[in-house]
């Protein structure tokens, strides 16, 4: 092997040229922040002779400018918009079984069709025996919370975006799923089936350590899909019972529990009515509106209503299955 000795000044000169070239190629563009909704849909299920499953879509909060972000023969779902940061662009976390088992992926805000391919961030290799699903972003945008059955039953985990700092938060023989991080980063709401049906639970961080757990709902039916209000005063969830599902709000979710005498102090309000399946509610960034999935037009579409359940309108109307909305702020370039 021949070793080449390159003078230090040449190396520095080369770095200088490279740095200047890269700087010259960097073009700053003006951006604006818009409210967007991402969701899953199978509306493109059949394309010629190829069967397409769920893909990720994005639209404006009024239902306009619908864009398909993923397009493959696997299932892409559980999409979650990252918080807006001044130092970087938005990203979308989602679950996909494109490599056999379910894993968490990250993609740029423009999606895979017009942008680079999504990158897998969970460490389970392709075709392993565990599934990693349902990601939600940390409020600082530096990590995600998700569910995994890598240890047997489904538990709640957190990790950094590069797959490091993996931390297991729950450890029970029952399934913990659907985690949602609170705006201050000190609580995570999730779903657990400890008592036979599914209930909403909360795990809290005390002195930088996760561990305080309390049960938030105690109904006989199944409760799922919790969503925090931006000011943390309330939580939305879907209540499933007797062949229908409604959206419920707990206004003082931060300090009530159904495992103690204070349960009666939990103030609940039913926001939707009728013989429909209203589910997967999510607050708008300002907390004044709610997006959700409903079969009010027979198939499931994305709907929008005021925070009090009034002025309900559909955002999508098609023959496909639209579900799992997430609502957030997105930085996009300003078009001249």
Separation CA 284–CA 328 (nearest Å): 7
Q: What are phi and psi of 173, to 5 degrees?
A: -75, 0
* pLDDT score for 170: 94
| Angle, vertex CA 39, rays to CA 37 and CA 45, nearest 5 | 140
Separation CA 4–CA 54 (nearest Å): 54
Separation CA 103–CA 26 (nearest Å): 33
Cα–Cα nearest to 92, from 64, 56, 66? 56
Ordered structural domains, the chain, with CATH:
30-333 (2.120.10.30)
Residues of the chain with pLDDT under 70: 1-29, 45-52, 85-88, 124-127, 260-264, 335-336
* pLDDT score for 211: 86
* pLDDT score for 51: 61
H or E element that contains 201: strand 197-206
* Contacts with 293 (C-beta within 8 Å, 6 or more apart), sequence order: 39, 278, 279, 280, 300, 301, 302, 303, 322, 323, 324, 325
Q: Which residues pair with 177 in a beta bridge?
A: 191
- Reading phi first (left if > 0) and then psi (alpha if -120 to 50, else beta), residue 7 is in beta
* pLDDT score for 303: 98
* pLDDT score for 58: 97
Separation CA 59–CA 304 (nearest Å): 13
Q: Which residues pair with 333 in a beta bridge?
A: 31
β-pairing verdict for 313-314 and 299-306: antiparallel
């Amino acid at each position: 092997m021949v070793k080449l000795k390159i003078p230090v000044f040449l190396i520095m000169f080369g770095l200088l040229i490279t740095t200047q070239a890269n700087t010259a190629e960097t073009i700053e563009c003006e951006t604006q922040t818009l409210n967007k909704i991402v969701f899953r849909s199978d509306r493109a299920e059949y394309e010629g002779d190829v069967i397409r499953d769920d893909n990720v879509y994005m639209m404006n909060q009024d239902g306009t400018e619908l864009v398909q972000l993923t397009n493959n023969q696997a299932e892409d779902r559980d999409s979650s918009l990252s918080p807006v940061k001044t130092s970087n662009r938005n990203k979308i976390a989602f679950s996909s079984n494109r490599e056999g088992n379910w894993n968490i992926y990250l993609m740029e805000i423009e999606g895979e069709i017009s942008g680079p391919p999504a990158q897998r961030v969970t460490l389970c290799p392709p075709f392993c025996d565990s599934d990693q699903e349902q990601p939600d972003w940390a409020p600082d945008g530096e990590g995600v919370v998700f569910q995994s059955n890598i240890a047997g039953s489904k538990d709640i985990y957190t990790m950094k975006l590069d797959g490091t700092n993996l931390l297991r938060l729950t450890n029970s023989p029952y399934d913990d799923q659907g985690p949602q991080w609170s705006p201050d980063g000190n609580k995570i709401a999730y779903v657990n089936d400890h008592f036979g049906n599914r209930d909403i639970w909360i795990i809290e961080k005390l002195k930088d350590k996760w561990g305080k757990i309390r049960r938030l709902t105690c109904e006989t039916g199944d409760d799922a899909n919790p969503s925090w209000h931006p000011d943390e005063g309330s939580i939305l969830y879907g209540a499933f019972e007797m062949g229908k599902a409604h959206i419920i709000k707990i206004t003082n979710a931060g300090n009530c529990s159904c495992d103690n005498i204070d349960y009666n102090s939990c103030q609940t309000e039913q926001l939707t009515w009728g013989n429909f399946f209203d589910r997967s509610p999510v607050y708008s960034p300002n907390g004044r509106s709610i997006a959700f999935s409903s079969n009010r037009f027979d198939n499931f579409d994305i709907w929008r209503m005021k925070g009090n359940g009034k002025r309900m309108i559909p955002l999508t109307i098609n023959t496909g299955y639209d579900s799992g909305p997430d609502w957030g702020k997105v930085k996009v370039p300003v078009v001249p």
